[in-house]
Amino acid sequence: MEAMVLHRAGTPLRLEDIAIPEPGRTQVLLEVTVCGLCRTDLHVVDGELTAPKLPLVPGHQVVGRVVATGSSVERVRTGSRVGVPWLG
């Protein structure tokens, strides 16, 4: 899949092909339709937060379709349109 990847704070994001992750037992895999960047993402990109886990694909406020589910997922089905809010 294509993603914008941050390798070092204060440097431009790079468009890269990365491996599609496999969802864990309690996770779902989404094909993202839209993604928002919050101020925390921008703090990481700008180097204002210490010790981020890099490389990083910023953005966690998304809307998309479920394309795979983990073995224990029961409430969401493949093909469902879902939104993922702020992580707090």
What is the CB-side half-sphere exposure of residue 80 using CA atoms within 13 A?
A: 13
**Digit-coded pLDDT (tens) for 2-25:** 999 999 999 999 999 999 999 999
Task: Catalogue all structural domains in the chain, each as residue range(s) with its CATH number.
Answer: 2-84 (3.90.180.10)
User: Measured in whole angstroms, how far is the alpha carbon of residue 76 from the centre of its chain?
Assistant: 18
Q: What is the chain's percent helix, strand, coil content, to nearest 5?
A: 10, 35, 55
**Digit-coded pLDDT (tens) for 32-87:** 999 988 888 999 999 998 888 999 999 888 999 999 999 999 999 999 999 998 76
DSSP category for residue 45: H
Burial 42-60 (b: 16+ CB within 10 A, else e): eebbeeeeeeeeeebebbe
